[in-house]
Homo-oligomer: A and B are copies of this chain.
Amino acid sequence: MTFQGKTTTGGVCAPRGFKAAAAACGLKASGDLDLCILAAEQRCAAAATFTSNAFHAAPVTLTGAHIAEDGFLQAVVVNSGNANAWTGERGMRDAREMADLTAGATGMRTSDVAVASTGVIGRYLEMEKVAAGISEAAARLDVKGGGDAARAIMTTDTFPKEVAWEYGGFKVGGMAKGAGMIKPDMATMLAFVTTDAAVEHERLARALRYAVDRSFNRITVDGCTSTNDMVLAMASGISGAELGIEELQEALLRVCSRLARTIVEDGEGATRFIAVRLHEAASEAEAKRAAMGVAESALVKTAFFGGDPNWGRVVQAVGQAIKDADPLSMRVKICGVTVAERGEASEVDMEKLEEAMAGRELDLDVFLGRGEAAMEVWTCDYSYDYVKINAEYHT
């Protein structure tokens, strides 16, 4: 199923019924925006997917509870600069207070407020700063606030990530943050999706799961699944547009895919975007395992940083992931050029290939010759700056 539509502006505030605002309350030493509120005119059907890491940060636990209560949310408050993870009981109290303060400042119920945090693990939130930021943001809520909100949730991101899509009768908007500690599994770093379509909680949850599995769960920057991952969707229903489940899935997937792609494009230190496609696998699970094995290989990622078509490292990663793979049935293509097949190197015009690899976007296709299943995942290269960013991002 496909349906028409076009991109539009406004990010999470593009759909009718949503306002946002941000504040710089001092959680980031840089003085940049570090807190935002996204609020709806009325209560929204809501759904979320969360990190599969055993250690759920306090805001992840709280938001899960608030959605579980009745399937509705009306606002989400997000801070960057501090993940509020591994902060014990005090961390849970702080997350609850963030919801309370936001509810108080906007006239909502505390249980209709979701909370999300991103930043350093293991440090208590400075609640005076947070409280001031919430007051300030709540007073400034505006339908044009989507851009500021997208900036406020950034950590090592180098650009804000937002998208919006307009269909006949309804819109879907989204924003995300993430550049490192990115190997989503059930969810990703923070992403927020809004729509003014009329959807109840169960259908929204089902469509969100569909979209997340096919977008955020297919990217990796460094193989590390964060403690704070959260993708949150809210549907205001204001457009009155009622969608079939397939339309809804497709609409959410477009937004999630675009956001997931921008996270990889902004991967820490990344100079290249790499699409890894595994074809002819025995199952989707096998295709994903092998694709992720290639996408997470430090050797593959550094080779691609160097512009080197080092397919030996690609087959090494495939052979590590699929213990009974057969080289004789395999084929490897880099940027459309076959570089190895039937267990040996192919004759390649290296000059042409290196030219094809000079771009910022690289395609890597591996054909396993084992079946019909396929999977595409996205990753980026490893550069000096990946090391620099992560050696200098001090606790």
Binding site for B on A (CB under 8 A): 52-55, 83, 85-88, 90-91, 120-123, 180-181, 185, 222-227, 296-299, 302-303, 305-306, 308-313, 315-320, 322-327, 340, 342-345, 382-384, 386-388, 390-395
Separation of A71 and B302 alpha carbons in the complex (Å): 41
In Å, the complex CA distance between A120 and B316 comes to: 11
7 new A-B pairs (CB below 8 Å) besides A52-B320, A86-B345?
Answer: A86-B343, A87-B344, A122-B315, A181-B316, A308-B391, A382-B387, A384-B387
Q: Are B302 and A386 in contact (CB under 8 A)?
A: yes
The 10 A-B pairs of least Cβ separation, nearest first, read: A121-B312, A306-B391, A302-B390, A55-B319, A54-B319, A88-B344, A53-B319, A54-B325, A122-B345, A222-B298
A224 to B300 CA separation, bound complex (whole angstroms): 10
Which residues of B are found within 8 Å of A122, using beta-carbon distances? 311-312, 315, 340, 344-345
| Distance between A27 CB and nearest chain B CB, rounded to angstroms | 16
Contact A305 B387 (CB under 8 A): yes
Closest partner residue, chain B, to A300 (CB atom): B224
Partner of A391, one of B54, B226, B302, B315: B302
Q: Which of A180, A318, A319 has the most CB of B within 10 A?
A: A319
Give the residues in chain B near A298, CB-CB below 8 Å: 222-224, 298, 382, 386, 390
Q: With A54-B319, A122-B311, A180-B299 as known contacts, state yes or no: A306 contacts B86, CB within 8 Å.
A: no
Contact A55 B327 (CB under 8 A): yes
B residues less than 8 Å from A91 (CB atoms): 344
Contacts of A311 in B (CB 8 A): 121-122, 395
Assembly CA distance A123 to B181 (angstroms): 36
Give the number of copies in the complex: 2
Question: Distance (Å) between the CB of A42 and the closest chain B CB?
Answer: 37
A237→B54 CA distance, assembly (Å) = 52
Query: How far apart sit A180 and B322, CA to CA, in the bound complex (Å)?
Result: 21
> A339 to nearest B CB, angstroms?
8
Given contacts A55-B316, A392-B306, contact A297 B86 (CB under 8 A): no
Across the interface, A320 reaches (CB within 8 A) one of B224, B297, B384, namely B224
- Structural contact, A227 and B55, CB atoms closer than 8 A: no
Interface pair A317/B54, CB less than 8 Å apart = no
- Provide the residues of chain B in CB contact with A185, threshold 8 Å: 320
Closest to A88 in B: B344
Could you list some 8 contacts between A and B, CB below 8 A?
A54-B324, A86-B315, A180-B299, A222-B298, A223-B297, A226-B316, A298-B298, A305-B391
- Determine how close the nearest CB of chain B comes to the CB of A56; give it in whole angstroms: 9
Asked if A120 and B312 sit within 8 Å, CB to CB, the answer is: yes
CB contacts (< 8 Å) of A322 on chain B: these are: 54
Query: For A121, what are the chain B residues with a Cβ–Cβ distance below 8 Å?
Result: 311-313, 315-316
